[in-house]
Amino acid sequence: MDMPIIELKGVVKSFGPVDVLKGVNFTAYPGKITALVGDNGAGKSTLIKGLAGVQPYDGGEVLFNGSPVHLHSPRDAGALGIEVVYQDLALCDNLDIVQNMFLGREELSAGTFDEGRMEREAAETLRQLSVRTVKSVRQKVSSLSGGQRQTVAIARSVLKKAKVVILDEPTAALGVAQTAQVLALVKRLAEQGVSVIIISHNLVDVFEVADYISVLYLGQMVASVKTSETNNEDVIGYITGVKTYEGTSA
Ligand SMILES: Nc1ncnc2c1ncn2[C@@H]1O[C@H](COP(=O)(O)OP(=O)(O)OP(=O)(O)O)[C@@H](O)[C@H]1O
Ligand SMILES: [Mg+2]
């Protein structure tokens, strides 16, 4: 087994008297897709916000490539190459694809934005990811479909040379064809060596792409399994709390 790039040991998070994460262990591997599933309110987004440094954990340990790290701010996470693609907040409608992909870290040339270079890099990144449905990188994001928007948001993390890409419900609002397109992109991301963590309520999607499945139930990690060693019925059982995982965690 490869060394995990991310390893959480006993992370806890409370909001006032409410314990939302009750000592959670979680691992993610380079080049692998790990699905994080669980019912509404199980703590998935809270777990991710801790990894993103947006809402630091109250306690527990975070190891990155085996070494303890502190994630107190998004800057800490960004410095390690941890990027989160949020469903809705990801893009600016009034900007084009290139502007969105480089937002906040535009390439400068003699004090002004090097538009030509950014355009080439944006187009090259989309090409690498085999994105063919976007006609021009100078298209405004407002003119893109949901799937294309998600594609641009993911490509943006690739452009940042992310090592860990976290996707919170990337296909929730998408139709069948667009979902297939985004899932294919997620697979290509992993093939390039990126560790992908995907939150999804759609178990069909999960079984299609994930190498590992981790199940949160009321703030506890109740199962971490290889997708090839489990099935839909068992995972639903873990999610709803009617089935207890008996094996050793993957
Ligand atoms: N800022 C906050 N203040 C107080 N309680 C919070 C806060 N954020 C989350 N919670 C609570 O923590 C619990 C877990 O929330 P979280 O958003 O992590 O769940 P989730 O698994 O992502 O659910 P969903 O599938 O609905 O997105 C919920 O009970 C929620 O009400
Ligand atoms: Mg959530």
User: What SS3 class is residue 146?
Assistant: helix
Neighbours of 18 (CB within 10 A): 8
**In angstroms, what is the span from residue 41 Cα to ligand 2's centroid?**
7
* pTM greater than 0.85: yes
- Output the six-digit token pair for 194: 């990126």
List the structure tokens of 218: 């009321």
Q: Find out whether the beta carbon of 38 lies less than 6 Å from any atom of ligand 1.
A: yes
CA of 38, nearest ligand number: 1
Report the separation in Å between the CA atom of 200 and the middle of ligand 2, taken as the mean of its atom positions: 9
Ligand 2 centroid to Cα of residue 39, in Å, is: 9
Which atom, in ligand 1's list, is nearest to the CA of 44?
A: 21
Which ligand ends up closest to the CA of 217?
A: 1
Give the residue from 178, 221, 174 showing the smallest Cα distance to 34: 221
Ligand 1 contact, 90 CB (< 6 A) = no
Which of 44, 87, 240 to probe ligand 1 with, by most ligand atoms within 8 A of CB? 44
**158 pLDDT tier (thresholds 50, 70, 90):** confident
Architecture of domain 6-88+162-240: 3-Layer(aba) Sandwich (3.40)
State the distance from the centre of ligand 2 to the C-alpha of 72, rounded, in angstroms. Answer: 20
Q: For residue 114, what pLDDT is reported?
A: 84
C-alpha 50/C-alpha 17 separation (Å) is: 18
Phi then psi for 8, rounded to 5 degrees? -105, 135
Say if residue 33 is exposed, middle or buried (CB neighbours under 10 Å; 0-12, 13-18, 19+). Answer: buried
* 20 half-sphere exposure, CB direction, 13 A CA radius: 19
148 lines ligand 1 (CB under 6 A): no
The pLDDT of residue 32:
98
Residue written as token pair 């692998």: 32
Q: Which residue has the higher pLDDT, 77 or 155?
A: 77
For tokens 């641009």, the residue is: 152
How many Å lie between the centroid of ligand 1 and the Cα of residue 14?
10
Give the rounded distance of the alpha carbon of 222 from its chain centre.
20
DSSP for 193-215?
Answer: T-EEEEE-S-HHHHHHH-SEEEE
pLDDT above 80: residue 109: no
User: Left, alpha or beta for 43 (phi > 0: left; psi -120 to 50: alpha)?
Assistant: left
pLDDT tens-digit series, residues 182-236: 899 899 999 999 999 999 999 999 999 999 999 999 999 999 999 999 999 999 9
- How confident is the model at residue 250, as a pLDDT? 56
Q: Which atom of ligand 1 is nearest to the CA of 48?
A: 18
Check pLDDT > 80 for residue 28. yes
34-68 confidence digits (pLDDT tens) = 999 999 999 999 999 999 999 999 999 999 999 99
Which amino acid does the sequence have at 35? A
CA distance 10 to 24: 5
For ligand 1, say whether the CB of 41 is within 6 Å of any of its atoms. yes
**What tens digit of pLDDT does each residue of 75-95 get?**
999 999 999 987 665 688 889
Distance 109 CA to ligand 1 centre (A): 44
Q: Does residue 163's CB lie within 6 angstroms of at least one atom of ligand 1?
A: no
Instruction: Kindly give the number of the ligand 1 atom that is closest to the alpha carbon of 16.
Output: 4
Ranked by mean pLDDT, the top range of 35-39, 134-138, 174-178 is 35-39
Check if the beta carbon of residue 114 is closer than 8 Å to that of residue 108. Answer: yes
Q: Distances in Å between the alpha carbon of 92 and those of 18, 95, 99, 139, 175?
A: 34, 6, 9, 12, 22
